[in-house]
Amino acid sequence: MHTGGDLRSSRSPAILRIARADHRTYRASRAARIAVTLLLPTRLNAWMRVVVTGGAGFIGSNLVHYWSREHPSDELIVIDKLTYAGNRRSIESLEREGRLRFEHADICDEEAMERILPGTDLVLNLAADTHVDRSIGDPAPFVQTNVVGTLVLLEAARRHRIGRFHQVSTDEVFGALALDRSAERFTPESPYRPRNPYAASKAAADHLVMAYQHTYGVPATISNCGNNFGPYQHPEKLIPRAIVRLLSGHKIPLYGAGANVRDWIYVEDHCEALDVIAHRGEPGRTYVVGADGEHTNLEIVTAIASRLGRDASAIEHVPDRPGHDLRYALDSHRIRSELGWRSRMTFDDGLDKTVQWYVANRRWWEPILASSGIVSGASGAAGI
Ligand SMILES: NC(=O)c1ccc[n+]([C@@H]2O[C@H](COP(=O)([O-])OP(=O)(O)OC[C@H]3O[C@@H](n4cnc5c(N)ncnc54)[C@H](O)[C@@H]3O)[C@@H](O)[C@H]2O)c1
């Protein structure tokens, strides 16, 4: 039975004290931590062995860049199947510098997980099929990776007494809010009411995570985050799709009137929240992660068009997605009050950075466009 206790029970008291410091102190003491780590005998330089599944995807790749910067002494392992959404180029600089080990594997593959996971201190599970439109077209792969894959990881975590398992989940498990009830927000206590196959598969995975926590004592946490944006996001999703379509001389296709509201967070803020939860979150607890960034889809694409010198004529309204959830909004009170996390990036600054990144990194996204139909044909609606 796991104790569900400290990730680093075998590490030195000095390191433990630093790891338990409050979040501000924790960041401020980064230089001191690195210095302490460098002075320690070699066997302690491997601070923690951290496995990031889905580390070649959007949030996963941002997370491993973040982690290698913030925790340079940790041993980082990325597990990724490299589906159409995974892109090894997003993390190639880290691989080249020897800052992570890449394992090309499917999280549903029990043998592979059995080989890779023993000795791991922390698993951050981000591997998933993630695009709602694709889940509506074909739900089965979503159940396979998101549910069965999570089960395989949990089994390995149980058998090998992995120090901490963190499940990266979504606000979509809570269903949708009405557009006209602006005070209502999702909290960790909100009931699960998934309304599309993607959300249902994520909800099922979350239930398994909590079942393993309660039944077997696997020290697990869950975070439910809103819509992320930032570098390295596949251009099938709303913000990068709008940017690359305009940069390629096409209009932005927008579902319906674009009135649907999402709660947006800059991906780096999400990465920092995951860091805080993994180190200081309480096993068995769920954390809702949002940045008070509610915007309609129309506001988002209008803001992107204006940053690229275009007006409303660059937006083309197309028929809506079936069962399109109206509004997601998040109450992050728990992670703020219990763990001291706060988002840092304003929506406007984050969008500036994101647009600039896609302008400067055509070499990253142009090969994806060539194979995806994002700038051609009718598959071009701006989904999330
Ligand atoms: N993007 C968002 O706005 C958002 C918001 C909240 C939560 N999330 C959650 O965060 C996680 C990451 O989302 P993302 O946007 O980075 O997704 P993504 O689609 O960009 O990346 C998913 C990654 O998982 C990999 N993968 C897929 N199936 C796999 C399998 N069977 N085995 C191993 N690897 C596999 C893919 O190759 C890809 O690299 C997901 O669990 C998602 O549900 C995303």
What is the rounded CA–CA span in Å between residue 300 and residue 252? 11
Q: Which of 80, 129, 172, 272 is catalytic?
A: 172
Instruction: Please tell me whether residue 294 adopts helix, strand or coil conformation.
Output: strand
Distance 364 CA to ligand 1 centre (A): 18
Q: Which of 121, 155, 171, 236 is catalytic?
A: 171
Q: Indicate the top mutation candidate among 51, 52, 59, 266 to test ligand 1's pocket, ranked by most ligand atoms within 8 A of CB.
A: 59
What pLDDT score was predicted for residue 19? 39
Closest ligand 1 atom to residue 172 Cα is 6
What pLDDT score was predicted for residue 181? 65
What is the rounded CA–CA span in Å between residue 229 and residue 165? 24
The dihedral of CA 114, 147, 134, 301: what is its sign? negative
What is the rounded CA–CA span in Å between residue 234 and residue 384? 11
What does residue 228 show for φ and ψ, rounded to 5 degrees? Answer: -90, 150
- Kindly report, residue by residue over 270-299, the tens digit of the pLDDT: 999 999 999 999 999 999 999 999 999 999
Q: Indicate the top mutation candidate among 113, 130, 169 to test ligand 1's pocket, ranked by most ligand atoms within 8 A of CB.
A: 130
With a cut of 60, say whether residue 220 has pLDDT above it.
Answer: yes
Average pLDDT over residues 236-250: 96
Burial class (CB in 10 A: 0-12, 13-18, 19+), 316: middle
With a cut of 80, say whether residue 5 has pLDDT above it.
Answer: no
With a cut of 60, say whether residue 36 has pLDDT above it.
Answer: no
Instruction: Please tell me whether residue 163 adopts helix, strand or coil conformation.
Output: coil
Closest ligand 1 atom to residue 106 Cα is 32
What pLDDT score was predicted for residue 33? 39
Q: CA nearest 343: which of 256, 294, 272? A: 272
Length of the chain: 384
Would you say the CB of residue 227 lies under 6 angstroms from ligand 1? yes
Would you say the CB of residue 150 lies under 6 angstroms from ligand 1? no
The yes/no answer on whether domain 13-229+266-294+324-344 falls in CATH 3.30.565.10 is no
Would you say the CB of residue 59 lies under 6 angstroms from ligand 1? yes
Q: Give domain limits for the chain.
A: 13-229+266-294+324-344
Eight-state DSSP code of residue 248: T
Bridge partners of 341, per DSSP, are none
pLDDT category of residue 194 using cuts at 50, 70 and 90? very high
Would you say the CB of residue 81 lies under 6 angstroms from ligand 1? yes
With a cut of 80, say whether residue 8 has pLDDT above it.
Answer: no
Closest ligand 1 atom to residue 62 Cα is 16
To the nearest 10 degrees (0 to 180), the angle between helices 362-372 and 238-247 is: 100
Q: Which of 198, 255, 266, 287 is catalytic?
A: 198
Q: Indicate the top mutation candidate among 52, 126, 148, 332 to test ligand 1's pocket, ranked by most ligand atoms within 8 A of CB.
A: 126
Q: How many CA atoms lie within 13 A of 79 on its CB side?
A: 26
With a cut of 80, say whether residue 86 has pLDDT above it.
Answer: yes
Q: Tell me how crowded residue 333 is: count the other CB atoms within 10 A of its CB.
A: 12
Q: CA nearest 62: which of 37, 87, 27, 82? A: 87
Please list, residue by residue across 158-175, b when 16 or more beta carbons sit within 10 angstroms of its beta carbon and e when fewer do: beeebbbbbbbbbbbbbb
Q: SS3 sequence, 174-229?
A: HCCECCCCCCCCECCCCCCCCCCHHHHHHHHHHHHHHHHHHHHCCCEEEEEECEEE
Would you say the CB of residue 128 lies under 6 angstroms from ligand 1? yes
Tokens 């809010």 locate to 177
Q: Whose CA is nearest to atom 22 of ligand 1?
A: 57
What pLDDT score was predicted for residue 314? 96
Distance 42 CA to ligand 1 centre (A): 34
Active site residue 198: yes
Q: Whose CA is nearest to atom 7 of ligand 1?
A: 170
- Kindly report, residue by residue over 120-177, the tens digit of the pLDDT: 999 999 999 999 999 999 999 999 999 999 999 999 999 999 999 999 999 999 998 9
Would you say the CB of residue 85 lies under 6 angstroms from ligand 1? yes
